[in-house]
Amino acid sequence: MNQNSFRDAAYEPVAIPPITEAKARLPIPVLPDQPEWVEMYWRAWEIAWGNIRRPGADTKLIAPYLDATGEKQLLLWDTAFAVQFGIYGRRAFNFARLLDNFYARQHDDGFICRELNAATGEDLFCPFAPNSTGPNILAWAEWRVYRASGDDARLAQVFWPLLAYHRWLQDNRTWQNGLYWATGVSSGMRNQPRVPDSMSHHRHWSWVDASMQAVLNCAILTEMAARLQQEELAASLTAERASLAQLVNKQMWNLEQNYYQDVDRDGRFSRVKSIAAYWGLVDKEFVPEDRLVPFVQHLRDNWSFNLPHRVPSQAADSEGYNAQSGNYWRGAVWPSTTFMVLKGLRTVGRHKLAHEIAVNHIQNVCDVYRRTDTFWENYAPETAVPGDPSRPNFVGASGVTPIAILLEDVIGLHVDWPLRRVSWDRQLDSAGAYGVLNLPIGPEGTLNLTGDKEKLTIQTDTPFTLHIREDGQLVQAAVSVGVTEIDLT
């Protein structure tokens, strides 16, 4: 069995401060031109705090969980994305621990169920049911936590269950040629018609997101293994990644469409351009240079993904697209997948496009918030209304928009603490100084960072290197403890 310390852990009560106290430990966005975005930000934290639940004494859960659906179920997909905005609240509540329940319920062979019963902590699927697990994004979620926090102890703890889960998927979710399969449910995109009649069955197709997530998983586990001085594992994972990336690029690139797509056992491509294909951008080395421009172009085309609300879950020129409501995964805009696309675009250096999409998305979400005072599971792709079906108060995964996307892709801040680096991509058109106060950096540091077109003001208790991207130019500055001012003129 893998070295999974979570399986022997028991729940220990943790303090969850009321939101009125927690606010003092949360980052403070400074956006004088956009007070409604700031209002949205604080409202999202309030809803998130209201959705935190402690496990019952007689369950097999070892940590609190978020109940954004009201159905008392723990969902792997939603939890992995909730952790992405929870990174910024870790001084008040350790959101990374939301994932611990899944590691605690890992089976001897590495299997992790995609859904747990909150009342008991038990799996809701047996391992070999097609819908039982997925998507394979736990390592990606943990790697973002590590890059923000520099928490070496957690990295060492989560690596082994993540590796075991990766191996289980390799053994049980692949075809003989090495490509991966999923279902509509296990992919997280249950009713998308990318594979015919596939909500609960793989239909003998190879699935582009499952295969790309495996490539990404190899890359991240390689980085983790290297930091943990597991040289042999790092080498084997590097080789595995290279082989699988080559296979996916060979089998799943539709040259006619200039797009990665699911493929059946006879080599025929799906008729749907799914947002799932953009998992390929999250691994910087995956998409060959000669394919990158045409692949990204779909996000700019107004007959494809560049709709009034960006980015729909499937392209408008694909079979089954629903313009009115998005009909769940048939075109609705999901904050989780938009967040993934933004991370991918920044990984491959498309910073301007990422910012444009982020501002469009957050303004559409704000227009809906203004009328409903809440955040929704998904949104219509061509009008500023909730999708249908779509659940309210979904914070949860939808919290990535008013919190993480606001901080990372609108304001433009990124922390990479293992490198002791903070990056500020300054693209927001603001009449006055904007930025963030009380931003957590590393294990204990705090940063205030604001600026206008002429000057940046930085206050911190921890030294780091600041990378400033301004008008396409990258400037590097060493920042010391105390107050630093940087002249931009």
Element (H, E) at 435: strand 434-441
Residue 338's nearest CA partner among 304, 375, 299 is 299
Virtual CA dihedral for 147, 343, 177, 173, nearest 10 degrees? 70
Contact 40, 366 (CB under 8 A): yes
Q: List pLDDT tens digits, range 251-291.
A: 999 999 999 999 999 999 999 999 999 999 999 999 999 99
Q: Quick one: 452 and 403 in the same domain?
A: no
Q: What are the tens digits of pLDDT across the range 312-362? A: 999 999 999 999 999 999 999 999 999 999 999 999 999 999 999 999 999
Decide if 414 contacts 425 (C-beta within 8 A). Answer: yes
Same domain, 295 and 441: no
pLDDT in tens, 389-421: 999 999 999 999 999 999 999 999 999 999 999
138 token code pair: 């736990």
Residue type, 426: R
- Domain final residue pick, 371, 398, 414: 414
3-state secondary structure of 378: coil
Q: Is the domain of 378 the same as that of 401?
A: yes
**CATH number, domain containing residue 274:** 1.50.10.10
- Give the 3-state secondary structure of 152-211: HHHHHHHHHHHHHHHHHHHHHCECCCCCECCCHHHHCCCCCCCCCCCCCCCCCCECHHHH
Q: Do both 387 and 421 map to the same domain?
A: no
Q: Is the per-residue pLDDT at 369 higher than 70?
A: yes
pLDDT category of residue 472 using cuts at 50, 70 and 90: confident
Domain boundary among 394, 414, 434: 414
The whole-angstrom separation of Cα 112 and Cα 105 is: 7
Tally the domains of the chain: 2
- The per-residue pLDDT of the chain, averaged, comes to 96
Return the pLDDT at 191: 97
Summarised one tens digit per residue, pLDDT across range 182-226 is 999 999 999 999 999 999 999 999 999 999 999 999 999 999 999
Whether 433 and 329 map to the same domain: the answer is no
Other Cβ atoms closer than 10 A to 253: 21
Tell me the pLDDT band of 2, cut-offs 50, 70 and 90: low
Which domain does 191 fall in, by range?
Answer: 5-27+35-414
State residue 350's pLDDT score: 97
State the pairing for strand pair 253-254/445-451. unpaired
**Helix, strand or coil for residue 260?**
strand
Q: Tell me the whole-structure pTM to 2 decimals.
A: 0.97
Per-residue pLDDT band at 478 (split at 50, 70, 90): very high
DSSP characters over 43-81:
HHHHHHHHHEEPPPTTSS--S-EE-SSSS-EEEHHHHHH
Phi, psi of 447 (to 5 degrees): -135, 135
- Reference 165, options 246, 64, 80, 231; nearest CA is 80
* Percent of residues, the chain, with pLDDT higher than 70: 100
For residue range 44-92, list pLDDT tens digits in order: 999 999 999 999 888 999 999 999 988 889 999 999 999 999 999 999 9
Q: Which residues pair with 260 in a beta bridge?
A: 253
441: CATH: 2.60.420.10
